[in-house]
Amino acid sequence: MARCKIKSGYNPRKTATIEPYDKVLIVCEGGTEVNYFKGLIGDLKLSTVNIEILDIKQNTPDSLLREAKQLYQKAKRSGNPYDRVYCVFDKDGHSKYQKTKGDIEQIKKPKDVYHCVFSEPCFEFWLLLHYKKTDKPFTNFDEIRKDKDFKKHFPNYDKSKNNFNDLKDRISTAC
């Protein structure tokens, strides 16, 4: 007697499909942020294929946003747009800080592509928080650099040096 063929729809030879990761652009105004994020991505073993981190050497929040928009449009024209764009900048006394935050909020609404990541007053404050909680009213990097706690933990601080390996075990303290 011949076997009956049953169509169940199940095919054991089909391979599972994996959803692609979002393509992410992180634009920063300095090397300190780039080094930190690259270290974090490496430590978390995230795929760097879809994450691009750039120090675009812009010194104001509005010029950083302008450059991020140009990079987004260039990627979009090439048929491989970013799903998310993060603009990382310091408050650090910039006169266009609030306006740029507002601009990002306005342009992110339709597709939720652009995001603002700001440090107040500067990214080095975040680094200091890895060692000690503080509520000192710093207004800029120069004040933090002169702080005794910052000098203690970063005696030879260099913005271009990657400090992430010294900080990674202290992230929970900073949060």
- Report pLDDT for 141: 92
Domain limits at 72? 24-174
Does 5 fall in a domain? no
Q: How many CA atoms lie within 13 A of 152 on its CB side?
A: 8
- Report pLDDT for 147: 95
Q: Is 116 helix (H, G, I), strand (E, B) or coil?
A: strand
- Report pLDDT for 53: 93
Does 68 fall in a domain? yes
Across the 175 residues of the chain, what is the mean pLDDT of every consecutive 10-residue run? 55 64 90 92 83 86 90 94 91 77 74 86 93 91 94 92 90 87
The DSSP letter of residue 153 is H
Does 105 fall in a domain? yes
Q: Return d(Cα 127, Cα 132) in angstroms, integer.
A: 9
The total domain count for the chain is 1
- Report pLDDT for 45: 86
- Report pLDDT for 5: 55
* Percent helix, strand and coil across the chain, each to the nearest 5: 40, 15, 45
